[in-house]
Amino acid sequence: MNHFLACQLSLPIQKVYSADVSGVLSVIATAKRGIKVYDLRNPQTPVRQIESNLKFQTRTVACFPDLGGAKGFAYGSIEGRVALHFVDEPVDSKNNFSFKCHRESPVPANQHAKIYSVNEIGFHPKYGTFSTAGSDGAYHFWDKDSKQRLKGYSTSNKFADGVIAPITASAFSADGAIFAYACSYDWGQGHAAFKPDVHKPVVLLHGLAEADVKPRPRTR
């Protein structure tokens, strides 16, 4: 089998943590909270380089689908936050925003909230809404335009030792009818805590209802 290299980019002494492509837009999240945006028609020079406005390490990045609308991307961090960035807007545009997710409210209320990593973000191929999946074993569907959550699901998947299995990867099917997600150890507790005979991966499928992913009018 022949293999063809379409494009190669050199990043100066920076580890790549996540990357995505949509149409001619490519976004790469690097160490030190760096984010580089490329136009693949001229990939040698980034069209924009920014520092993540999230305070902690970027875990995942996903481009808006190429549906003829605004170009941009979403990215999530290990601190349970997601940010939306529109490429054609100034960095300080009010349309660029972030929000908290994948957190458990403290009980009692004066204690610290439990915060989980956002491991995966994906955009619906038809509606342009997006999903987030995290170390809490939960996944949610969001509407970036109305800035609201559409639906949330907390899975009951646990490892053999009773620990909740993090969601480490997810994707919509090409027709947008199915949401697939994988549960496995996400290395959040380090190498020493990994038990191959206990932390076994599993892939699950969720048949989507229209209410899960269809945009809603903005509410006041």
Per-residue model confidence as pLDDT tens for the chain (220 residues): 566 667 777 777 678 999 999 999 999 999 999 999 999 888 888 889 999 999 999 999 999 998 777 799 999 999 999 999 999 888 888 889 999 999 887 666 667 778 999 999 999 999 999 999 999 999 999 999 999 999 999 877 888 888 889 999 999 999 999 999 999 988 888 888 888 898 999 999 999 999 999 998 876 6
5-15 tens-digit pLDDT: 677 777 776 78
Query: Domain 16-213 - what CATH class?
Result: mainly beta
> What are the extents of the domains in the chain?
16-213
Q: Kindly report the CA angle at 151 between 147 and 155, in degrees rounded to 5? A: 135
List, edge to edge, every strand of the sheet that includes 178-183.
167-172, 178-183, 202-207
Q: How far is CA 69 from CA 64, 86, 139, 215, in A?
A: 9, 11, 25, 14
**pTM of the entire structure?**
0.89
Report the Cα 132 to chain-centroid distance in Å: 5
Residues 89/95, Cβ–Cβ less than 8 Å: yes
* Kind of pairing between the strands at 130-134 and 138-143: antiparallel
Looking at the DSSP bridge assignments, the partners of residue 60 are 76
Cβ–Cβ < 8 Å for 58, 29: yes
Count of beta carbons in the 10 Å neighbourhood of residue 152: 14
Measuring CA to CA, how many Å separate 152 from each of 60, 86, 201?
A: 19, 25, 22
DSSP E strands in 81-214: the ranges are 81-86, 97-100, 103-104, 114-115, 118-123, 130-134, 138-143, 148-154, 167-172, 178-183, 202-207
